Amino acid sequence: MSGVVLRSAVEMLSMLRARKISALELADEHIRQIERLNPLLNAFIDFDADRVRTQAAAPDQAGGTPGLLSGLPMSVKASISVAGHRCETGSLLNQGHIAATDAVIVSRMRQAGAVVLGTTNCPEFLMAYETDNRVYGRTSNPWDFERTAGGSSGGESAAIAAGLSAGGLGSDSGGSVREPAHFTGICALKPTPGRIPGDGHLPPCVGPFSLLGSIGPMARTIGDVSLLFRVLSGHADAEPVSAPVAWQQHSMKELQQIPIGFFEDDGLIPVTAETRCAVWSAVTSLRRQGFRVEPFRPCALKEARELWWKLFVRSGAMLVDRLVAGREALISPVLRDFLRIAHAEEPLSGQELLTAWVDCDLVRGKMLAEMREWPVLLLPVCSVPAFRHGEREWDIGGQAVGYLDAMRYTQWFNVLGGPAAVLPVGRSPEGLPIGVQIAGRPYQDEVVLGVAAALERDFGYLPPPLAV
């Protein structure tokens, strides 16, 4: 079964159904990969081989109709509750916290028959695009140990890219499943808020974060991401933003009728030459397949980014300040860096916060109006590929680009509340993966995934050399 851990989740499930491999054998293959590579990557922070084997033995022994994910080994970011597992959000302030119950999405995973491998590393309180904390340390990129696997779902991306997990769950309030996917060469979806229940996420997806944040599937292929989204999405009664929207299937002919707008940069923050090349490669592929793809850049991007800054950075810092008050000595350098950036401005006043909340709907309305003609957008994920641990500024074409500015290409769609998927398309001169982003209007998740799947015909996942 050499190489089985690097196959797609869809292929693994097909092998399980055909009895070419048992759930226990598949789990053992993943256990060996974890034991071999996790000491190098530091992706899993809570993993117990015996517990995994006990779960995996159950589908092999049970009768009846197997679930749609029966026997599939999956992982979960350590900010999503998995009963009996650590859910500490990378903070000494939460050290030792064990989740008592499963998040709704984890319950659905189990009901579908998935085998939970364990929980994966994340930055403290999820406030970074680099996974590092004082509880477990940093997670490294399987393409280059000197570089980050991204954040805040960096443990997930490293585990999936290196074949430690067939797929898993991350969360995204500013690019936190998409940036790591881009950095490690895998696929991810930030869904429309409400399509996947956020109940059981720590911190809770409430207030501004009910719009900005969502739990999203991550895997090596868009086909896998689509399967996870189809199986795990759906209305949850206790979820205030949960949407009773059923899975929608679109044919290739229907997708080809949807105009796609693309842009290489936002006119303010540049991207590397290889990133531009990846966007153009994607444009060429889609045009060849019969899609209409034309230059288009929404005018409301600058306003959307300003609102994201207020709601995520400044408002988020106010929430973190309350959590760490009197215990500042315990916080990690990565979180301290985020707070330093946020505290460069005065805390939001009540009037500013109320105005931002109102403006959010107005700006969303502008973007949605602009996207009537171009319902799907193709664009970069980030200004740069995976950066070295601790880097916070880059020179791109003679322009200095700061840390949070380089990541702005994902942040707009958290304010829009629309879906956005990432898949690998190009490579940097150092051989690092470069992804592109497919974004759409709210509740058009299946359209975004369909376009991404078409693009994946010409591109897609390649294993990092250490994983083979």
Confidence band of 237 (pLDDT split at 50, 70, 90): confident
Percent of residues, the chain, with pLDDT higher than 70? 98
Q: What is the pTM of this model?
A: 0.98
How much is the pLDDT for 208?
Answer: 86
Confidence band of 242 (pLDDT split at 50, 70, 90): confident
CB distance 231 to 68 below 8 Å: yes
| CA 105 and chain centroid, separation | 15
**Cα–Cα distance, 107 to 81 (Å, whole number):** 10
Average pLDDT over residues 109-121: 97
CA-closest candidate to residue 78, choices 135, 145, 148, 129: 135
Token pair 């795990």: residue: 232
Give per-residue pLDDT as tens, 296-349: 999 999 999 999 999 999 999 999 999 999 999 999 999 999 999 999 999 899
Token pair 């994920």: residue: 381
HSE on the CB side for 91, CA within 13 Å? 24
Q: Would you state the structure tokens that stand for residue 295, as one six-digit string?
A: 């230059």
How much is the pLDDT for 65?
Answer: 79
Give per-residue pLDDT as tens, 48-96: 999 999 999 987 666 667 899 999 999 999 999 999 999 999 999 999 9
Q: How many helices (H) and strands (E) does the chain have?
A: 17, 15
Please name the amino acid found at residue 37: L
End-to-end CA distance of the chain: 12
**Cα–Cα distance, 14 to 9 (Å, whole number):** 9
Supply the residues annotated as catalytic. 77, 152, 176
How much is the pLDDT for 61?
Answer: 66
